[in-house]
Amino acid sequence: MAENHSEQVSTYLPLHVIEIILLNLPAKSLLRFKAVSKSWNTMISDPVFVRNHLHQSKASNSQNLFLCDFTFNYNSGKFCLVKIDEDRTLRSLDVLKSPRGFNMRVLCYCDGVLLFTSDDETPSGVEFVLWNPSTRTQTIFRLPFELNTDDKCYGLCNWYGLCHDPIIGDFKVVVICSNHYAVYSCKNKAWTMKKEFGDTFGVAYHPGVFVDGVVYWLKMEKDERRYKLTYFDPKDDEFKMANDEHGIFKVQRPTYNMIDFGGRLCVYSYKQGDKVVHIWIKEKGVDNNSWKELITVENVERILVLYGTLGQGELLNRRNGA
């Protein structure tokens, strides 16, 4: 009897120790472990745990270069989780399919969640879905036609942003037209039409990137010589300009792409003729607009389209074909 009791004590782990272990696991593993017990399910589902796990993932000190085949097949509806191993070889971890009925391109990405839209308009408006590829959960909502004040607005030619406030557990979706925008609160399940911009909202890279608690875009200046950072602040649902009077990138440089790289804004460009990828990284903080060139990679045939990291060095990108 005493021997059995001793064995039970020796195999018991306090919940705070289990929490530390779980915080260091990938999101995909957490999904499986929710079925272990009610206490584990409650712990993993708790907003505080979700926030801490997200912070832990972003704090990962991975310096991998996320490069893969570029694809132009935006409607394949298939994605690939890839990882750069220590020997710098690309390894495919898993192939995922987008939610049924939303077999199209990603509009934007934030904290492990993807925003899609459907090409088909429903009688109640344009349909969107937020999809978490790690947990396979989704939230569907619509943009009512009464918010569409311009026939050219709110189609696939527009710009989108997605931000997350883990403290209150709310995702906000930003839909931008040429000179005005609307904001959807997932928690309140409501759209808000915002005031018009002073001028046309022209950007270099369409999907907004959520870093530093705001959503960033590269905005073209009126003289069309340089790009500046502009951002959406979810605290007051307003657009603001980063503190940089000279701009950060010359327009002459080719295509720009942006991602959240370990909690820091990363910009990379690629010119096909040169086969060179330039990668820059921004210091943390909305008020800190200091950049440095992280690395230059040569002899690159094609560039990977990145949507962001899912934690633990994993990356989500579009996969071409089956």
For the stretch 260-316, pLDDT in tens is 877 888 887 776 677 777 788 888 888 888 888 877 777 766 665 565 554 444 444
pTM of the predicted model as reported, rounded to 2 decimal places: 0.71
Matching CATH number, 55-318, of 1.10.3470, 2.120.10, 2.60.40, 1.20.950:
2.120.10
- Report the pLDDT value the prediction gives residue 66, as an integer from 0 to 100: 43
Domain ranges of the chain: 2-45, 55-318
Residue 186, Cβ density class (10 Å: 0-12 exposed, 13-18 middle, ≥19 buried): middle
| CA-to-CA dists, residue 56 to 22, 25, 42, 135, 197, angstroms | 11, 10, 19, 18, 37
The whole-number pLDDT of residue 63 equals 43
pLDDT at 321: 38
Q: Can you give the pLDDT at residue 172?
A: 92
**pLDDT the model gives residue 216:** 92
Q: For residue range 70-81, what is the model confidence (pLDDT) as tens digits?
A: 344 444 556 655
Paired tokens of 241: 């300009």
- CA dist 207 and 316 (Å) reads 15
Segments in the chain below pLDDT 50: 1-3, 5-10, 61-75, 88, 152-156, 251, 310-322
Residue 206's nearest CA partner among 240, 174, 248, 249 is: 174
Under a CB-based contact definition with an 8 Å cutoff, are residues 81 and 93 in contact?
A: yes
pLDDT score of 70: 36
Count each helix (H run) and each strand (E run) in the chain, helices first: 5, 21
pLDDT, residue 168, reads 74
User: Residue 94 has what pLDDT?
Assistant: 59
Q: What are the structure tokens assigned to 62, written together?
A: 């991975």
Q: What is the pLDDT of residue 318?
A: 44
